[in-house]
Structure 1
Amino acid sequence: MFYIDDFIPMYRCFQNIVASLPSLVVCCYLRLKMTPKSTTIFLQKLRSSMQNTKYVKEPISAYIVPSSDAHNSEYLAECDEFRAFISGFTGSAGTAIITQNEALLYTDGRYFLQASQQLDSNWTLAKEGLPTTLSQGDWLSKYLAKGSRIGVDPKVYSYDKFKLLHTKLEATGHQLVPVATNLIDLLWTDRPARPTNPVKPLAVKYTGTTIGQKLKSVNDSMKEKNAEYLVLTALDEIAYFLNLRGSDIEFNPVFFSYVIIGDNCFTLFINSKQVGKEVLDHLNEQVAGNFKIEPYENIEKKLEELAKQVDGYIWFSEHSSYTLVDLVPKKNRITTDITPICLMKAIKNPVEIQGMRNCHIRDAAALCCYFSWLEQNVDREKITEVSGAQKLLEFRKLQSDFVGPSFDTISSVGPHGAIIHYQPSDSTDVRITSDQLYLCDSGGQYLDGTTDVTRTLHFGNPTLFEKDCYTRVLKGQLKLASRIFPSKIRGNYLDSFAREFLWQVGLDFAHGTGHGIGSYLNVHEGPMGISWRPIDTDPGLQPGMFISNEPGYYQDGEFGLRIEDIVLVIEAKPPHNHANRGYLTFETVCLVPKINKLILVDMLTDEELEQLNSYHRQCVEVVGPLLEQQGQMQAREWLIRETRPLTR
């Protein structure tokens, strides 16, 4: 196996020749082996199926393939990657729209560069979030003949999205129709089987509350809405509610299931192979037998039965699949709203809060070990994006209660860092060197919490422009971390704090600034977030929520940099409390040094300088003793050196 960086000297000469060309051309040499998947035959067959009344009641003019499964999951098991199969684009967010003449891939700013590399010539990239990009509904309305039928698999399309798009299309003379047969499944002859991995209980010493306590709280919320039943479809909500964890989706400790909650009881729909004696004992102990277990595929039959006898309401999440909600024929018996489990899960209890603090300390120790090792060896041996990520995993495995990574490590060098969610592979792997920025975004799943940390490093001499960009990102992160804001304000109102110093010089980043994070659950967790784009379901920031603080900057074809911490929302104590509203601020729980070499100190205010030095003192005081206890003296020395107080 060879690495493209073996040809770097030749590339450097070539670079001077193409300096005046677009940045994508400059970096293409480093990505010679990233060949898009050929989709011509698959699109031909799909378009044929769209006209075949064996699969559709009437021919359809367009077919929508979302990036989700029957549970509206962000990250998917291989068997549910329909959009990736038909388009070749493997990012976690995106929607494919196929007509008889066009194929569009919609995705957001995190994936513009990746999608442009992975899509073949059959596809057009629609960049969501840009003012010049038509929404999916507007594009379909504009370019399809009036009266067109647009199909979608209702099992993997959420009820709220279906309603919204249906209303939009109907207003312009089109019709959105559910197609019972998944047309991509017809093409995917070697589609993997659905995972049925064993499920395991999570002890109360990690969860802080029992199922019975959660059930009582949920029942109270149900009574307020006159709901006889609550249907849980989101896999992380089910895992949280039942104090169970699984491994059916890589990096996400969840398992394929549904739950219907009634009055002081619930039914779990799951493959029986996944439920052993340990799980049954756990459920009996925490809810005293007030539960039933039925096969996973029985959910539709059960809902049809309940729909015939319900007097109150059946409560669905607005993100439940259209198929499930549509099983209740009396629409006045349905309420669709954010579930009480979603909010309960987002606001961590004291045990979960302490667990999140603790696991971030251990995770910081692992990262210090990795970065110090990398610094020592980057010029001594060939360390690549892939082998570096593997070494980081080895250091995390040394930490107590470690289960596995919380997502695929983004280990990216130079131009690869500009691909916001880059995933190194054998075909794109390059050497980590001392003359390019190295961006490492990684996280761990621990029994007591979940981590997500990004640091950008340089082991040689960064350019003035790289330092300027890094310092502006750092200033934005420090500013957001220190803000005081009213209780329950939506994260959208805080987003510009992180971008202010980039905006001053006409720079920006195309992703959100913060996402919620689970407690030994999904690394991306709603319903709150910090983004330039309003989040409709955001209930407002409240004490006990954990959220990321991760501004960045990406120079296509050259480098990417991001600084990410996880912060805890806590109460603030300003001198006034207008209207008794209550005020909040953030506590940073990630304790990994920022990189002093990349900071232009003269750009920092005195307040920012003290804030950074105070943070670094905390890193040494908290993580240093753990490294010493673990005998990681090289890492401890690196930590002390990287946290030396900065002065003018």
Structure 2
Amino acid sequence: MFQTFEATTDPGQGPGRLAALRDVMRAEGVDAFLVPRADRYQGEYVADCDARLAWLTGFTGSAGFAAVLVDRAGVFIDGRYRVQVRSQVADVFTPVHWPETSLADWLVGALPRGAVVAYDPWLHTVTEIAGLTATLAAAGISLRGTDNLVDRIWHDRPGPPEAPFAAQPLALTGTGSADKRAALTAGVDAGAWVITLPDSIAWLLNIRGRNVARNPVPHATAVLHHGGSVDLFAEPAQVAGLGDHLDGGVRIVPSAHLADRLAALTSPVRIDPASCPQRIRDLLTAQVAEGPDPCILPKARKTPAEIAGARAAHLRDGAAMVRFLAWLDAEAPKGTLTEIAVVRALEGFRRDTNALRDISFETICGAGAHGAIVHYRVTDGTDAPIRVGELLLVDSGGQYADGTTDITRTVIVGKPSDEHRDRYTRVLQGMVAISRAQFPRGVAGQHLDALARAPLWMAGLDYDHGTGHGVGSYLSVHEGPQGLSRRSTTPLEPGMILSNEPGYYREGAYGIRIENLITVVQAPTGPDKRDLLAFETLTHVPLDRRLIDLDLLSRAERDWIDGYHARTLALIGPQVTGADHDWLVRACAPL
């Protein structure tokens, strides 16, 4: 069966499960209960046992939450999921456009004074609860922390993941854990940091895990003490295989002792309110200071070893993609393929590298109208044929020990329409604009986002997602704080890796997205000696030349595309043979 846990959640169960949850709410004397897509570690992805939002509502997107009241239930989703949510949830749930409508405002409009909103304090951050408390208190509504009410009715809930952690070698990280810890604590006026984000702990200790699908992160909690020692709260069996990798400055403490150890801390303790669960804040009795997770920014600045690994991973992955696209070009016009067949074939080409640890997220393969669902995931029930004359959008990636990849290619099966070519070319122009960008140090992603949208804006068009997200080094495929979007305020720095993925989506018809990964590099100093940065493209896979309208391109854009294809042929050509190589030569021919 081609299904994951989330894909097999049944929307038809939604009404019954919602009714059961409301029975528990009435017994508890609460008027609302919040159901986020979150776990106690506040990572982006959750294990099966923590997929409460999907279990309750049927919605399987990677971001969102529900607010269940006695007379209504809202599912809050952003622009990526507004088509998907309508096809996944029963009509007892109402989609709510978020962040245009905030949870606090929605609750104030739906609840009377004196109402009580319950929540699981492990699943909401300090920042979330502080914001909700302020707004709700002004409306006479109170918040109450409780155990998770969904868990009381989820009788066949899966158990927690128990996969062991693994060491990430120094040759791939470029910096040892002890050096990282010493650098983070130097000059910091605090006795300890509490760190909960799985990818932060993975980076800090140079370890990886298998506690959630597709992202090699460990489920643990860390207390980083002044001087660089660490208490790592994890199950002993999960760290048993690390051997001598963890130095004497890392103490393993069973997770069952976390509450007692946190309460016993006496010196000033720092937390990141944006990622620290409210429950951890409640357990701390020492003086608490707030600040950003100390791992976030240095993790984003990849070391030379990590950048070298990313280049190697992308060449390996690029060869697999070329083999896949050559196969697709030959097989799709026959009319026998479906979305699932395409996904299986692509994952097979990646496995053939003999280096694949996992795919980096569930492959998005949308034929025709499915391509307009930004984060569409094919299941046995939605599997669609690949039809001649339709666009096919494939967004995928691989996890390799030396790097994480994420690439989207949109291709035409047969002959494109004029509209296909116009929209594809405008998306391509946006991707090229970001790739060619040169900018002063201090510029953030919010300053560059418009470059990718301008060709679409000129035609009265746009897309409802960010232009790019940060990417980890054999870590999370979505990594902050860097990004390319209107909300990305972190200045870009050398070594940061981002996606570059503008798109266009016509609901009910097709979707177009083109995505490469890029890394920030130092640019030559300009005439007035400004400190300039630019992007190096890591992904080298041909674009679909059949979809490019040459009349829309400037000479500079044509030159960039031809140069990109020439580099792709030079780098990937030696890695493929026979018909695959012949296809690559044709695909990389000058415009």
SS at match of 1:93: coil
Range with bigger deviation, 369-378 or 394-403: 394-403
Structure 1 counterpart of 2:274, one-letter code: E
* 1:360 matched residue in structure 2: 314
Which residue of the other structure, out of 568, 576, 587, is the alignment partner of 1:619?
A: 568
Instruction: Give aligned-pair identity as a percent.
Output: 37
Would you say the 8 A contact 1:483–1:585 is kept in 2? Answer: yes
Mapping of residues 464-543 of structure 1, within 5 Å: 464-532=418-486, 534-535=487-488, 538-543=489-494
Which residue of the other structure, out of 198, 201, 214, is the alignment partner of 1:251?
A: 214
Does the alignment pair 1:642 with 2:587? yes
Structure 1 counterpart of 2:553, one-letter code: L
SS at match of 1:39: helix
Which residue of the other structure, out of 626, 633, 638, is the alignment partner of 2:578?
A: 633
After TM superposition, give the deviation of residue 187 of structure 1 in Å.
1.0
SS at match of 1:282: coil
Structure 2 counterpart of 1:108, one-letter code: D
Mapping of residues 101-180 of structure 1, within 5 Å: 101-129=71-99, 133-179=100-146
Does the alignment pair 1:99 with 2:78? no
Work out the CA distance in 2 between the residues paired with 1:335 and 1:353.
34
Work out the CA distance in 2 between the residues paired with 1:304 and 1:69.
21
> Cα deviations across residues 260-292 of structure 1 (Å, max 9, x unaligned)?
11123111111111122x403111xxx3x1221
After TM superposition, give the deviation of residue 400 of structure 1 in Å.
4.8
Work out the CA distance in 1 between the residues paired with 2:284 and 2:262.
7
SS at match of 1:52: helix
Distance 1:135 1:264, change over 3 A: closer
Would you say the 8 A contact 2:9–2:54 is kept in 1? Answer: no
Which residue of the other structure, out of 532, 542, 555, is the alignment partner of 2:506?
A: 555
Would you say the 8 A contact 2:127–2:273 is kept in 1? Answer: no
SS at match of 2:149: coil
Would you say the 8 A contact 2:264–2:285 is kept in 1? Answer: no
Would you say the 8 A contact 1:36–1:117 is kept in 2? Answer: no
Does the alignment pair 1:238 with 2:238? no
Would you say the 8 A contact 2:333–2:414 is kept in 1? Answer: no
Would you say the 8 A contact 2:358–2:398 is kept in 1? Answer: yes
Would you say the 8 A contact 2:9–2:58 is kept in 1? Answer: no
SS at match of 1:151: strand
Distance 1:37 1:492, change over 3 A: farther
Structure 2 counterpart of 1:36, one-letter code: P
Structure 2 counterpart of 1:643, one-letter code: C
Does the alignment pair 1:340 with 2:303? no
After TM superposition, give the deviation of residue 636 of structure 1 in Å.
1.4
After TM superposition, give the deviation of residue 216 of structure 1 in Å.
1.0
After TM superposition, give the deviation of residue 381 of structure 1 in Å.
6.6
Does the alignment pair 1:275 with 2:242? no
Would you say the 8 A contact 1:34–1:117 is kept in 2? Answer: no
Work out the CA distance in 1 between the residues paired with 2:168 and 2:384.
39
Mapping of residues 354-393 of structure 1, within 5 Å: 354-380=308-334, 382-393=336-347
Distance 1:154 1:577, change over 3 A: farther
Work out the CA distance in 1 between the residues paired with 2:358 and 2:284.
40
Structure 2 counterpart of 1:347, one-letter code: R
Would you say the 8 A contact 1:231–1:317 is kept in 2? Answer: no
Would you say the 8 A contact 1:409–1:423 is kept in 2? Answer: yes
Work out the CA distance in 1 between the residues paired with 2:193 and 2:354.
37
Would you say the 8 A contact 1:318–1:336 is kept in 2? Answer: no
SS at match of 1:185: helix
* 2:4 matched residue in structure 1: none
Work out the CA distance in 2 between the residues paired with 1:36 and 1:367.
34
After TM superposition, give the deviation of residue 171 of structure 1 in Å.
2.2
Work out the CA distance in 2 between the residues paired with 1:407 and 1:432.
22
After TM superposition, give the deviation of residue 506 of structure 1 in Å.
1.5
Work out the CA distance in 2 between the residues paired with 1:336 and 1:297.
25
Work out the CA distance in 2 between the residues paired with 1:35 and 1:394.
28
Does the alignment pair 1:191 with 2:161? no
Mapping of residues 275-354 of structure 1, within 5 Å: 275-276=239-240, 278-283=241-246, 287=247, 289-306=248-265, 309-310=266-267, 312-316=268-272, 318-330=274-286, 333-354=287-308
Work out the CA distance in 2 between the residues paired with 1:157 and 1:420.
26
Would you say the 8 A contact 1:355–1:449 is kept in 2? Answer: yes
Work out the CA distance in 1 between the residues paired with 2:512 and 2:156.
38
After TM superposition, give the deviation of residue 167 of structure 1 in Å.
1.3
Work out the CA distance in 2 between the residues paired with 1:360 and 1:217.
30
Would you say the 8 A contact 1:401–1:448 is kept in 2? Answer: no
Structure 2 counterpart of 1:610, one-letter code: D
TM-score normalised per structure 2? 0.96
SS at match of 1:247: coil
Work out the CA distance in 1 between the residues paired with 2:528 and 2:31.
57
* 2:16 matched residue in structure 1: 41
Work out the CA distance in 1 between the residues paired with 2:321 and 2:369.
23
SS at match of 2:71: coil
Unaligned runs of 5+ in 2: 2-7
Range with bigger deviation, 483-492 or 242-251: 483-492
Range with bigger deviation, 455-464 or 258-267: 258-267
Structure 1 counterpart of 2:254, one-letter code: P
After TM superposition, give the deviation of residue 230 of structure 1 in Å.
1.1
Structure 2 counterpart of 1:200, one-letter code: A
Unaligned runs of 5+ in 1: 2-32, 54-58
The root-mean-square deviation of aligned C-alpha atoms, in Å, is 1.7
* 1:5 matched residue in structure 2: none
Work out the CA distance in 2 between the residues paired with 1:484 and 1:198.
43
After TM superposition, give the deviation of residue 34 of structure 1 in Å.
11
Work out the CA distance in 1 between the residues paired with 2:494 and 2:12.
46
* 1:595 matched residue in structure 2: 544
Which residue of the other structure, out of 379, 391, 403, is the alignment partner of 1:437?
A: 391
SS at match of 1:173: coil
* 2:25 matched residue in structure 1: 50
Distance 1:204 1:553, change over 3 A: same
Work out the CA distance in 2 between the residues paired with 1:177 and 1:68.
18
After TM superposition, give the deviation of residue 557 of structure 1 in Å.
0.7
After TM superposition, give the deviation of residue 177 of structure 1 in Å.
2.2
* 1:24 matched residue in structure 2: none
After TM superposition, give the deviation of residue 146 of structure 1 in Å.
1.5
Would you say the 8 A contact 2:84–2:376 is kept in 1? Answer: yes
Aligned residues: 584
Does the alignment pair 1:418 with 2:385? no
Work out the CA distance in 2 between the residues paired with 1:601 and 1:299.
61
* 1:17 matched residue in structure 2: none
Structure 1 counterpart of 2:276, one-letter code: S
